[in-house]
């Protein structure tokens, strides 16, 4: 009897040595080769562009320098969030323009988001009139250029609003609103401002001197939001463990508002109301017509686009989610707020980022109504006075790029937290 043994052999291919031809014909290296090649072409083009620019400037007897930022600006800025006068430097003027840009961008983003969410939800309403009204808003505002809306709101504020003199006399033709605290005139809107009797002074950080009092206000608000988030997370853990959710509403109110109210009391905070003195109002905070026109124009225009984004996000949610919420006894309002919108955020956030970026870049249209933003200061008057077009434009482009990348990065982090997680 013979025994046969099956022997199995594993075929081992000899390791191939590397050849230059593999950079083109081997799939493992081809993509890297193509990327390196185009990166080299890009760097070569950038080097040529820089060398050509430097040679042309040298031929014209000019150099490449940002020293002009330290020269006196010599011009005024009407809307000033920080201290500024015409004897300060172009760098200071650019900083004021940058802050004006950021203020306008934040205000417009908030207004556009509120209007967009409301209009997007109401456009899906079963009420025919409400749905059609929201449709008219969306179609009218998004199909007319932004600049035209800005000019329209600017003309309304300038021509249709009463002059400060209309508020004077025993029988004035115009009156202040909200218990005589807000005045809407053809020179702007005057609102109350918060004044601290025991102000903590200013903190000098380079060219900026922010108020220590307001910095502490921001820190207290941020700490309150963080503490309230921890409180809600603890309540959720208790609910998951016991099935009963503890009441947190009074604790949330205490955490969010208690510290800031106490801080205001300690510093003696009070409101300074605008008053008619002479030919104009004085005191309070003056919001110029250019800011109002830009705010309304950008906010209402972009809100129409956000409304469509919100509507698309809601329609992307399966109707079974809504039906299940109704079966559990949730009202339509709570169903939308607690079930539909949180799930729709994963669809809404990505295009919402683009709209926020568009608002930030469209603030450069402020030149049309005299709003002194970054484009009007650094990219306008400063360049005209110093003749530093290349340096000014490059610096302005880098600032806009930094702002846009920051907004995109922050919202992308938030988007990664609300999107669906695969397991």
How do the domains of the chain map onto residue ranges? 70-167+287-418, 193-272
Confidence band, pLDDT 50/70/90 cuts, at residue 34: confident
CA distance 191 to 13: 82
Confidence band, pLDDT 50/70/90 cuts, at residue 1: very low
pLDDT for residue 7 is more than 70 = no
Which residue has better confidence, 58 or 371?
Answer: 371
Q: What is the mean pLDDT of residues 5-18?
A: 55
Which residue has better confidence, 88 or 64?
Answer: 88
pLDDT for residue 395 is more than 80 = yes
CA distance 403 to 375: 14
Q: Which residues, in sequence order, are CB contacts of 88 under 8 Å at separation 6+? A: 72, 73
Helix 90-122 / helix 389-418 crossing angle, nearest 10 deg: 40
Confidence band, pLDDT 50/70/90 cuts, at residue 46: confident
| Highest mean pLDDT, choosing among 12-16, 208-212, 294-298 | 294-298
pLDDT for residue 204 is more than 80 = no
Average pLDDT of the chain? 86
Which residue has better confidence, 163 or 4?
Answer: 163
Cα dihedral 230, 234, 239, 245 in deg (nearest 10) = -70
pLDDT in tens, 328-353: 888 887 888 888 888 888 888 889 99
Instruction: Using alpha carbons, list the distances in angstroms from residue 226 to 74, 154, 189, 230.
Output: 45, 40, 34, 6
Which uninterrupted H or E stretch holds 325? Answer: helix 319-327
Tell which residue, 68, 70, 66, has the closest CA to residue 89. Answer: 70
Residues for the chain: how many in total? 423
CA distance 25 to 14: 19
**What fold characterizes domain 70-167+287-418?**
MetI-like fold (1.10.3720)
Q: What is the DSSP letter of 171?
A: S
pLDDT for residue 167 is more than 50 = yes
Q: What is the mean pLDDT of residues 72-77?
A: 89
pLDDT for residue 419 is more than 80 = no
pTM: 0.82
* DSSP assignment of 224-273: HHHHHHHHHHHHHHHHHHHS-PPP-HHHHHHHHHHHHHHHHHHTTEEEEP
pLDDT reported for residue 155: 93
CA distance 359 to 294: 10
CA distance 305 to 112: 9
Instruction: Using alpha carbons, list the distances in angstroms from residue 334 to 233, 322, 420.
Output: 20, 10, 21
Q: What is the mean pLDDT of residues 314-319?
A: 86
Least confident of 171-175, 188-192, 392-396: 171-175
Instruction: Using alpha carbons, list the distances in angstroms from residue 31 to 20, 25, 382, 390.
Output: 14, 10, 46, 37
Q: Nearest 5°: CA angle at 265, between 262 and 267?
A: 110
Tell which residue, 374, 383, 308, has the closest CA to residue 105. Answer: 374
pLDDT in tens, 240-286: 888 888 888 899 999 999 999 999 999 999 999 998 888 888 888 88
pLDDT in tens, 136-146: 999 999 999 99
DSSP reduced 3-state for 205 = strand
pLDDT reported for residue 400: 93
Q: Which residues, in sequence order, are CB contacts of 146 under 8 Å at separation 6+? A: 297, 298, 301, 362, 365
Which residue has better confidence, 12 or 36?
Answer: 36
Structure token pair of residue 49? 């562009």
pLDDT reported for residue 420: 60
Q: Nearest 5°: CA angle at 310, between 304 and 314?
A: 145
pLDDT reported for residue 189: 92
CA distance 249 to 243: 18
Q: Nearest 5°: CA angle at 212, between 211 and 218?
A: 95
pLDDT for residue 417 is more than 80 = no
| 329 CB neighbour count, 10 Å cutoff | 7
Confidence band, pLDDT 50/70/90 cuts, at residue 11: low
Which uninterrupted H or E stretch holds 287? Answer: strand 285-287
Instruction: Using alpha carbons, list the distances in angstroms from residue 34 to 25, 43, 423.
Output: 12, 14, 35
Q: What is the mean pLDDT of residues 294-314?
A: 93
């Amino acid at each position: 009897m013979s025994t046969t043994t099956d022997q199995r052999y594993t075929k081992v291919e000899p390791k191939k040595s590397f050849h230059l031809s593999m950079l083109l014909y081997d799939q493992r290296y081809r993509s890297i080769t193509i990327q390196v090649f185009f990166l080299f072409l890009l760097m070569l083009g950038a080097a040529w562009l820089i060398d050509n620019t430097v040679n042309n400037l040298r031929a014209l007897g000019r150099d490449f320098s940002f020293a002009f930022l330290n020269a006196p600006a010599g011009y005024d800025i009407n809307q000033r969030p920080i201290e500024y006068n015409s004897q300060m430097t172009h760098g200071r003027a650019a900083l004021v323009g940058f802050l004006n840009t950021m203020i306008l961008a934040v205000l417009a983003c908030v207004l556009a988001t509120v209007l967009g969410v409301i209009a997007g939800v109401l456009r899906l309403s079963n009420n025919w009139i409400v749905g059609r009204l929201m449709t008219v808003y969306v179609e009218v505002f998004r199909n007319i250029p932004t600049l035209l809306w800005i000019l329209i709101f600017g003309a309304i504020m300038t021509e249709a609003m009463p002059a400060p003199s209309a508020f004077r006399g025993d029988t004035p033709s115009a009156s202040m609103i909200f218990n005589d605290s807000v005045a809407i005139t053809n020179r702007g809107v005057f609102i109350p401002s918060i004044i601290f009797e025991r102000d903590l002074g200013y903190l000098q950080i380079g060219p900026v001197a922010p108020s220590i009092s307001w910095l502490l206000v921001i820190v207290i608000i941020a700490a309150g939001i963080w503490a309230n988030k921890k409180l809600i997370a603890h309540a959720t853990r208790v609910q998951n463990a016991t099935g009963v959710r503890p009441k947190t509403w009074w604790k949330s109110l205490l955490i969010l508002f208690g510290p800031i109210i106490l801080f205001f009391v300690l510093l003696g905070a009070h409101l300074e109301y605008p008053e008619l003195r002479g030919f104009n109002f004085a005191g309070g905070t003056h919001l110029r017509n250019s800011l109002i026109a830009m705010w309304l124009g950008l906010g209402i225009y972009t809100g129409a686009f956000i409304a469509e984004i919100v509507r698309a996000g809601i329609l992307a949610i399966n109707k079974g989610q809504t039906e299940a919420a109704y079966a559990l006894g949730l009202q339509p309002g709570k169903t939308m707020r607690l079930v539909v919108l949180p799930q729709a955020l994963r669809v809404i956030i990505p295009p919402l980022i683009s709209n926020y970026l568009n608002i930030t870049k469209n603030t450069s249209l402020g030149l049309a109504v005299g709003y002194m933003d970054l484009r009007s200061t650094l990219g306008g008057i400063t360049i005209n006075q110093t003749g530093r077009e290349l340096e000014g434009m490059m610096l302005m482009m880098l600032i806009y790029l930094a702002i846009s990348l920051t907004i995109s990065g922050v919202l992308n982090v938030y988007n990664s937290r609300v999107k669906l997680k695969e397991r």
